[in-house]
Amino acid sequence: MTLAAALDDAPRLYALIPCAGVGERAGAAGPKQYTMLAGRSLVAHTLAALAQVARLHAVLVVLSPDDAGFEQSAAGFTGWVSRNGGASRAQTVANGLDDLLARGARPLDWVLVHDAARCLVRAPWIDALIDACLADPVGGLLALPLADTLKAERDGRVSSTIDRRGKWQAQTPQMFRVGMLREALTLVGANVTDEASAIEALGHAPRLVPGSPENLKITYPSDFDLAERLLRTRS
């Protein structure tokens, strides 16, 4: 086999960005991914970070069918866009995987699923995930060991303290084989909240790769101010 043939046969890496949400908890006037932060939209920051990851073969953004804001909010994006998002994150990701396969991705290729709302992600963190997972039989995700004391609640009061040892906070990207993840999402249905949970349902144990506290997901109104400050202080 020639070097060119070997390289062509090697698994490729794709990024898939589910971007079909409406951001109900964020308190924004429209979809939170189009909110402006530090001079550009939230999703534009996310895509700029992914553009710095040289090993990605392509980036696919999955939008809702009636999305009318992406092109204006992500001017200059040269990747793939699909308007076949579903009613849940899991369905949006599953539809995006089908789109990747239709565009030539293979079941053994890797896909890195990343939240559009994690706009503070940095390319070195993504590269660290790739380095940790390329030779792994399952794949893995960026995550943080829990540092805070955890409380269980009942009727607005503490009902118990939860042991935090061995517990991690899941982040994205989450990196798995296209075929394995598609099979997992078919098995678990629409209610799973992240890709690793679907892979776990197949009986696999994803690798935990240490991420960064800065890789937060913009969820609540106060998160926008924090993200704005962090983006403006970056060199």
CA distance linking residue 89 with residue 87, whole number of Å: 7
Q: What pLDDT score was predicted for residue 26? A: 44
> Is residue 27 scored above 50 in pLDDT?
no
Q: Is residue 3 part of a domain?
A: no
What would the two tokens of residue 30 be? Answer: 């429209």
Do the domain assignments include residue 77? yes
Check if the beta carbon of residue 121 is closer than 8 Å to that of residue 114. Answer: yes
Domain that holds residue 40: 11-142+172-233
127 part of a folded domain? yes
Question: CATH no. for residue 54?
Answer: 3.90.550.10
Contact 143, 197 (CB under 8 A): no
Q: How many structural domains does the chain have?
A: 1
Report pLDDT digits (tens) over 138-187.
999 999 999 889 999 999 999 999 998 889 999 999 999 999 999 999 99
Give a yes or no: residue 154 inside a domain.
no
Phi/psi at 223 (5° precision): -65, -30
Q: What token pair was written down for 164?
A: 């935090």
Instruction: For 197-207, write each residue's pLDDT tens digit.
Output: 999 999 999 99
Is the N-terminal amide bond of 173 cis, ω within 30° of 0? Answer: yes
Q: Find where tokens 């955890």 sit.
A: 150
- Does 119 reside within a domain? yes
CB 33 within 8 A of CB 19: yes
Element (DSSP H or E) covering residue 177: strand 168-177
User: Can you give the length of the chain in residues?
Assistant: 235
Q: How high is the pLDDT of residue 232?
A: 86
In a domain, 1, yes or no: no
**Confidence class for position 25, pLDDT limits 50, 70, 90:** very low
Q: Are 110 and 179 in contact (CB under 8 A)?
A: no
Assess if residue 89 is contained within a domain. yes
Does residue 147 sit within a domain?
no
pLDDT score of 46 more than 70: yes
Instruction: Compute the distance between CA of residue 96 and CA of residue 104 in angstroms, rounded to an integer.
Output: 13
